[in-house]
């Protein structure tokens, strides 16, 4: 229930980034934005979104995830409706920066809740359910946003209507989300034993003593900020996240413009084609998380490597397309989506397993902060690599090759990850997670 509610709430919040991307050709035409302006907007959003992730992680660990999520939903609704009011390039850039500051508060508290409710046996799949918010949402939201804008003959109406939808995740979080399983009135002993199985097996927590679980666990697993960087797997996860964010926002920001400029797709057609990447991503992420949890029993490194190794050739294929070969374009988009989203569940679970779910906010906040910070500069680099010929035709080839180089760096970073699979218990239960 918790995982599904957080997925649904995050999906509604994620609508803004999808709409802003797929409607960017219409927005750019209406208020006079250039390709460089679109890149600058993405740069500003990600630049401020990164530090906001780290701050939200500290606030989550200190004040609780639910409070931070409530603030996030309210801020999202306000900023989404504000987008429908902008009239100039300057207003667009200011809005993107403010959006990054205020809405960088939605992911870390959501993930922090999941890390406490699920033990190592199911964390990758739980994280993938949450990750579907940014993988699966664009698959249908791309079509919805473009069709809505086309029929309403206005992209602004799309932002006003979806901004008002913020009342739905707000109600869901208020009524159905709890920071910890022991705070849920209907939690059974089996629920609590499942959530704390790793700590019980490790001897950190005694079965049945859940009222003071947080304080007990923190006493035995206190981690300072500098302690994080003494673990080489954590450092590797930082670089993996950087590549994942560069790839994700490369797809979100540039695939719609690429399809519109390079292949001449109209707004409605482009929405369907953009959806291929994300539909394939939902399948790839689910398969990967299941393999990571069940087949490889918590060895996260394998599927992270498969992600990057499989992704690289499809990015190169997309960049090499010079004509609207629909078959090759579909293969490139589906291949990129399928492999490019495989690492989310496995690597997002790692900080909780390297350290403890109790310090996940701080640990994951820095990881995501670094990821978005570098992704911000990648948007500027990609925009600078787009060339325009004498006839005004844009060539995105070098931009996609830049993404491919980043993916190759991801393979190297993933090779430094060290995880040990769970040992199967002869009675059917899973043992505690081993050191990473």
Q: Which domain holds residue 33?
A: 2-414
**Confidence class for position 322, pLDDT limits 50, 70, 90:** low
Q: Is residue 430, in this structure, part of any structural domain at all?
A: no
Q: Is residue 421, in this structure, part of any structural domain at all?
A: no
Q: Is residue 428, in this structure, part of any structural domain at all?
A: no
Q: Is residue 420, in this structure, part of any structural domain at all?
A: no
Residue 431 clears pLDDT 60, i.e. is over it: no
State pLDDT tens for residues 324-333.
Answer: 678 899 999 9
Residue 291 clears pLDDT 50, i.e. is over it: yes
In 3-state terms, what secondary structure has residue 369?
A: helix
Residue 432 clears pLDDT 70, i.e. is over it: no
State pLDDT tens for residues 267-279.
Answer: 667 777 877 888 8
Q: Cα-Cα-Cα-Cα dihedral of 279, 373, 3, 136, to 10°?
A: -10
State pLDDT tens for residues 56-109.
Answer: 988 998 888 999 999 999 999 999 999 999 999 999 999 999 998 998 888 899
Q: Is residue 357, in this structure, part of any structural domain at all?
A: yes
Q: Is residue 215, in this structure, part of any structural domain at all?
A: yes
In what helix (H) or strand (E) does residue 394 lie, and over which residues does it extend? Answer: strand 394-395
Dihedral sign for Cα 153, 159, 164, 169, please.
positive
- DSSP state, 222? -
Distance CA 153, CA 157 (A): 9
* Average confidence (pLDDT) over 370-385: 86
CB 138 within 8 A of CB 275: yes
* Average confidence (pLDDT) over 164-170: 91
**Confidence class for position 117, pLDDT limits 50, 70, 90:** very high
Helix axes 65-83 and 167-176, enclosed angle (nearest 10): 170
Range with the largest mean pLDDT of 151-155, 178-182, 268-272, 404-408: 404-408
pLDDT of residue 434: 35
Residue 190 clears pLDDT 50, i.e. is over it: yes
pLDDT of residue 383: 86
Domain count, the chain: 1
Domain harbouring 361, CATH code: 1.20.1250.20
pLDDT of residue 324: 64
Our CA angle for 392, 397, 400, nearest 5°, is 130
CB 259 within 8 A of CB 273: yes
Residues near 308 by beta carbon (within 8 Å), at least 6 away in sequence:
243, 339, 343, 407, 408, 410, 411, 414
- Taking alpha carbons only, the member of 263, 359, 348, 334 closest to residue 304 is 348
Mean pLDDT, the chain, whole residue set: 87
CB 39 within 8 A of CB 94: no
Quote the tokens at residue 59. Answer: 């606030």
Q: Secondary structure of 110-127 in the HEC alphabet? A: HHHHHHHHCCCCCHHHHH
Distance CA 181, CA 171 (A): 19
pLDDT of residue 424: 57
State pLDDT tens for residues 235-284.
Answer: 999 999 999 999 988 887 788 888 888 777 776 677 778 778 888 998 99
Q: Is residue 46, in this structure, part of any structural domain at all?
A: yes
Q: Is residue 121, in this structure, part of any structural domain at all?
A: yes
Quote the tokens at residue 19. Answer: 């709409």
**Confidence class for position 429, pLDDT limits 50, 70, 90:** very low
């Amino acid at each position: 229930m918790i995982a599904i509610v957080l997925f649904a709430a995050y999906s509604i919040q994620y609508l803004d980034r999808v709409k802003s991307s797929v409607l960017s050709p219409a927005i750019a035409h209406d208020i006079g934005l250039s390709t460089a302006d679109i890149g600058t907007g993405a740069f500003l959003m990600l630049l401020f979104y990164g530090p906001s992730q780290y701050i939200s992680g500290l606030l989550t660990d200190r004040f609780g995830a639910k409070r931070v999520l409530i603030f996030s939903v309210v801020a999202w609704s306000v900023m989404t409706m504000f987008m429908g009011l902008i009239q100039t390039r300057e207003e667009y850039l200011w809005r993107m920066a403010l959006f990054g500051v205020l809405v960088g508060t939605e992911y870390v508290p959501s993930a922090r809740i999941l890390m406490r409710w699920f033990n190592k046996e199911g964390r990758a799949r739980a994280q993938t359910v949450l990750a579907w918010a940014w993988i699966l949402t664009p698959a249908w939201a791309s079509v919805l946003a473009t069709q809505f804008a086309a029929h309403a003959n206005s992209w602004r109406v799309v932002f006003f209507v979806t901004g008002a939808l913020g009342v739905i995740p707000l109600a869901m979080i208020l009524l159905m989300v709890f920071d910890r399983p022991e705070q849920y009135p209907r939690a059974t002993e089996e629920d609590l034993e499942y959530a704390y199985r790793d700590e019980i097996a490790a001897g950190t927590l005694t079965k049945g003593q859940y009222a003071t679980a947080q304080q007990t666990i923190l006493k035995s697993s206190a981690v300072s900020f500098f302690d994080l960087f003494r673990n080489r797997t954590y450092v590797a996860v930082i670089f993996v996240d950087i590549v994942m964010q560069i790839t994700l926002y490369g797809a979100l920001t540039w695939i719609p413009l690429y399809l519109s400029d390079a292949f001449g797709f109209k707004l409605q057609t482009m929405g369907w084609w953009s959806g291929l990447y994300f539909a394939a991503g939902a399948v790839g992420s689910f398969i990967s998380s299941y393999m990571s949890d069940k087949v490889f029993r918590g060895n996260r490194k394998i599927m992270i490597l498969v992600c990057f190794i499989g992704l690289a050739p499809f990015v190169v294929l997309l960049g090499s397309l010079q004509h609207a070969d629909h078959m090759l374009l579909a293969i490139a988009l589906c291949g990129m989506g399928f492999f490019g989203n495989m690492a989310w569940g496995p690597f997002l679970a790692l900080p909780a397993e390297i350290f403890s779910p109790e310090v996940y906010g701080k640990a994951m906040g820095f990881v995501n902060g670094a990821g978005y910070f570098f992704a911000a500069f990648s948007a500027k680099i990609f925009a600078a690599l787009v060339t325009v010929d004498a006839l005004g035709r844009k060539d995105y080839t070098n931009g996609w090759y830049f993404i491919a180089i980043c993916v190759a760096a991801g393979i190297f970073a993933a090779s430094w990850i060290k995880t040990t699979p769970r040992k199967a218990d002869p009675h059917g239960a899973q043992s505690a997670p081993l050191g990473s």
